[in-house]
Structure 1
Amino acid sequence: MALTSLKHSHSLKLGHMSRRSLLLGGAAAGMSAALLPRTSDAADVVGAASEEIRPFKVEVPEAALADLRRRLAETRWPDGETVMNRSQGVQPDRLKELVRYWQSSHDWRNAESRLNSLPQFLTNIDGLDIHFIHVRSRHQNALPLIMTHGWPGSVFELLDVIGPLTDPTAHGGTADDAFHLVIPSIPGFGFSGKPPATGWNPQRIAAAWDVLMKRLDYNSYVAQGGDWGAIISDALGRQAPDGLLAIHVNRIERATTLPSGAAQALKNGGLAPDSLSADERIVFDEARDFLNNGFGYAAIMSTRPETIGYGIADSPVGLAAWLYDKIADWVFTPGDPEQALGKDAILDNITLYWLTNTGPSSGRIYWENAMSGAKLTAVKVPVAVTIFPGEVYKPPKHWLSKAYPKLIYYNRVSKGGHFAAWEEPELFSQEIRAGFKSVRL
């Protein structure tokens, strides 16, 4: 439905909502229970059972920010590393500077204002409140697009592409390039609800996204994602619900695209098969290096998300190190995410995880995916792919035919990393326009 048609929705505000909605919709975690408002349980039932689309506004209590600054000031730091590189993880000097800035200079209210300048909503799908941003283009023939973030990111990853995608004439495009944009928070992330039971794997999230788009009266649409957003978009493409026209991804699943001999060699920790070309061996070696040296975070969250959760729920510096480590690994400027993104953008994202206490709950998607046993069959709808040079896995086009038999677009660009929309919003937006161009014809 159009934004102007939401006449009977009710507003939800942090600090002014029911206790249950505060906890599920994005409360300021880290506060003591005494800081949470106490209201009638009758209000809880409305939000949980309703399929309404309810306007949402972020209003973090000042007490939560004061608590964060106190915790930062009282950090107990570990000993320094015994190497002169990043091989043991985040280096103390770098993290201490980020934390110093976080405590003294970062302004969450700026981030909060940026979110509140956009139309935000909650709606209940399958018993869980889903937070999403919904920006309709002024152009009449705009194509509806649902775009999904990943981990360790959030909707903050995607904010800079809203203008170029919804208002392309102001960003070097034409009216024919316009999208109506829906940006949900994955369950357990940000201001979406935290699943109280198991089962919210990528397949279930993908099905929920189709419900969301149909609830918004978008009977035909396209989907896009990187990281978990790509996995969810792939799942949506396998389900191929009526109205899904195509997907675009900027992260590719190794298991479905590596040649069979290379896949077996990678599984066994062996060398690249002789059948691979020199360029293909580079792709293989990068994938093997990632699995051997950069995959520990996923192994932990796939098997023990609750164990790591205690530390990152209790310590903002522990949370910052956990998230910063992978941001630093995956940007186009490895080891220097400040160069790619800037301190404030990195801290906006980390602070969102802290205030909502979604460090632990966001990690459970790894466990859910590992437990789902989903068979990775071919995607049934047309697929567009962009390969960014800083991405972890960069398969050549001819490796994608089995996973994406309806490949309609493939392009390799010259800059940008794993967080493509965050790092290179203009280039990313150009790729989305190009990738879905044939769908509009």
Structure 2
Amino acid sequence: MELRDFKINVPDGQIADLKLRLRNTRFPASLDAEQWDDGASLAFVRRLTDYWLHRFDWRAQEARLNRLPQFLATVDGHDIHFVYQTGKGPAPVPLVLTHGWPGSFVEMEHVIPLLTDPASHGGDAADAFHVVVPSLPGFGFSAAPAGSGVSAHHVAGLWLELMNGLGFDRFAAQGGDIGAGVSMWLARRFPGQIIGAHLNYIPGSFRPSLTDDLPPVTVDEQAYLDTVAAWSAAEGAYAAVQSTKPQTLSYAMSDSPVGLAAWIVEKFRSWSDCDGDLERVFTMDQLLTDISLYWFGHMLDASFRIYRENRLRPLAFGPHERVATPLGVALFPRELPTPPRSWVERVFDVQRWTPMPRGGHFAALEQPELLVEDIRAFFRPLRRMSDPL
């Protein structure tokens, strides 16, 4: 596999076009500009737009991100963008970190140095990892799929080829959101090559078998299923659209940067541990760097379509199917509905299940130190299962 060095360099014309579109935004009306009950607050989106137009410096963000060692590689016909940082320690374990939507590889910026060089950040050098952070196909600077079928199941196969191409026959996996689904598929499909999978989210599509010869649903499990149903009715419209009509949605989001920003920031507010105050957890620059990656990528249809692909290839399991790969889960309190441990243990060998004191869906951004410590702790006893590097 040939690695090509990569540096972000958005053409000046695209930045000028973005500013023109921001200046010409036609905002909707609102019954109450401050409230978020109907969706993204008009007052906040106006302020975000003004910041994006007059204060946000994409070139400064671009220069910072370009300090990360970035590469492109062609994997099974897909041009995949990824960050690859080698570890500093006696025997670093290779680890692939996978982001989700509406995140990006930028989510992992703060956890990469903690994982690769723990001794320089108050940790033990024996906990070091070689870290690979790919951008999902159609996200960031990874090319959009040329055809259908690129679900989390398919991405798991791409990540296996990528990691093997980097020289890692056995490796660890970690992820949240879509990245959790990719990590679970890696654990399920390639148990001989995955030493363990650590998650900070359990995908809603995860379904163990519930045939008559298996234990019935417990009270806690039924409560979880009821919570999921209520949450989907109140909060799941975005997923319903992205998983059924992604192309239609992409016209609006590809044409209006403010429409895209509103679609994304509402999720950052709803899913993070911010108590309604988005800027308590994220800066405007953090939000707009992520949003700008989606805008400049020109692949919004692909970033939505993976929801449809995952609906068509859900993480469903057959009767008595078991996954031998060890699984660890970090439970952040403001995460989306999370099943009880018994639900996951119907299929997986859950070796670590850690309630966290704070944090939400965007754990790597919100609480990088807590997330990293749990990753280190989960993989510490599994390191002996990794081939010597």
Q: So what's the TM-score if we normalise by structure 1?
A: 0.81
1:111-130 maps to which residues of 2 (within 5 A)?
111-130=61-80
Distance 1:302 1:67, change over 3 A: same
Match of 1:331 in 2: 272
Given that residues 259 and 399 in structure 1 are in contact (C-alpha distance below 8 angstroms), is that contact kept between their aligned partners in structure 2?
A: no
Distance 1:254 1:194, change over 3 A: closer
Name the SS of the counterpart of 2:325 in structure 1: coil
Inter-partner Cα distance in structure 2 for 1:329 and 1:120? 31
Match of 2:5 in 1: 55
The alignment status of 1:348 with 2:348, answered yes or no, reads no
Given that residues 230 and 251 in structure 1 are in contact (C-alpha distance below 8 angstroms), is that contact kept between their aligned partners in structure 2?
A: yes
Given that residues 199 and 330 in structure 2 are in contact (C-alpha distance below 8 angstroms), is that contact kept between their aligned partners in structure 1?
A: yes
Runs of 5+ in structure 2 lacking a partner? Answer: 212-216, 385-389
1:4-403 maps to which residues of 2 (within 5 A)?
51-81=1-31, 85-240=35-190, 242-254=192-204, 256=206, 276=219, 283=224, 286-372=227-313, 375-376=316-317, 378-403=322-347
The one-letter code of the counterpart of 1:371 is L
Distance 1:255 1:306, change over 3 A: closer
The one-letter code of the counterpart of 1:336 is D
Inter-partner Cα distance in structure 1 for 2:120 and 2:224? 38
Match of 2:359 in 1: 416
Inter-partner Cα distance in structure 2 for 1:255 and 1:190? 24
Match of 2:374 in 1: 431
Deviation at 1:82, TM superposition (A): 5.7
Name the SS of the counterpart of 2:133 in structure 1: strand
Given that residues 205 and 316 in structure 2 are in contact (C-alpha distance below 8 angstroms), is that contact kept between their aligned partners in structure 1?
A: no
Given that residues 251 and 393 in structure 1 are in contact (C-alpha distance below 8 angstroms), is that contact kept between their aligned partners in structure 2?
A: no
Name the SS of the counterpart of 1:200 in structure 2: coil
Inter-partner Cα distance in structure 2 for 1:60 and 1:192? 14
Inter-partner Cα distance in structure 2 for 1:130 and 1:241? 23
Inter-partner Cα distance in structure 2 for 1:367 and 1:109? 34
Inter-partner Cα distance in structure 2 for 1:416 and 1:315? 31
Deviation at 1:199, TM superposition (A): 1.4
Inter-partner Cα distance in structure 1 for 2:192 and 2:64? 34
Bigger CA drift: 233-242 or 290-299? Answer: 233-242
Bigger CA drift: 243-252 or 328-337? Answer: 328-337
Question: Which structure: larger Rg?
Answer: 1
The one-letter code of the counterpart of 1:312 is M
Distance 1:258 1:200, change over 3 A: closer
Runs of 5+ in structure 1 lacking a partner? Answer: 1-50, 262-272
Inter-partner Cα distance in structure 1 for 2:153 and 2:176? 16
Given that residues 83 and 133 in structure 2 are in contact (C-alpha distance below 8 angstroms), is that contact kept between their aligned partners in structure 1?
A: yes
Deviation at 1:109, TM superposition (A): 1.4
Deviation at 1:220, TM superposition (A): 1.4
Deviation at 1:395, TM superposition (A): 2.7
Match of 1:4 in 2: none
Given that residues 237 and 379 in structure 1 are in contact (C-alpha distance below 8 angstroms), is that contact kept between their aligned partners in structure 2?
A: yes
Distance 1:106 1:376, change over 3 A: farther
Q: So what's the TM-score if we normalise by structure 2?
A: 0.91
Name the SS of the counterpart of 2:353 in structure 1: strand
Inter-partner Cα distance in structure 2 for 1:335 and 1:188? 30
Distance 1:131 1:83, change over 3 A: closer
Query: Aligned-pair RMSD on alpha carbons?
Result: 2.1
Given that residues 240 and 380 in structure 1 are in contact (C-alpha distance below 8 angstroms), is that contact kept between their aligned partners in structure 2?
A: no
Inter-partner Cα distance in structure 2 for 1:83 and 1:96? 10
Count of residue correspondences: 376
Inter-partner Cα distance in structure 2 for 1:135 and 1:349? 21
Bigger CA drift: 185-194 or 364-373? Answer: 364-373
Distance 1:255 1:76, change over 3 A: closer
Distance 1:383 1:311, change over 3 A: same
Paired-residue identity, %: 40
Deviations 1:89-130 (A, max 9, x none): 111001111111111111111221122101101111111100
Distance 1:373 1:348, change over 3 A: closer
Deviations 1:306-334 (A, max 9, x none): 00000000010011011111111100115
Name the SS of the counterpart of 2:198 in structure 1: strand
The one-letter code of the counterpart of 1:130 is I
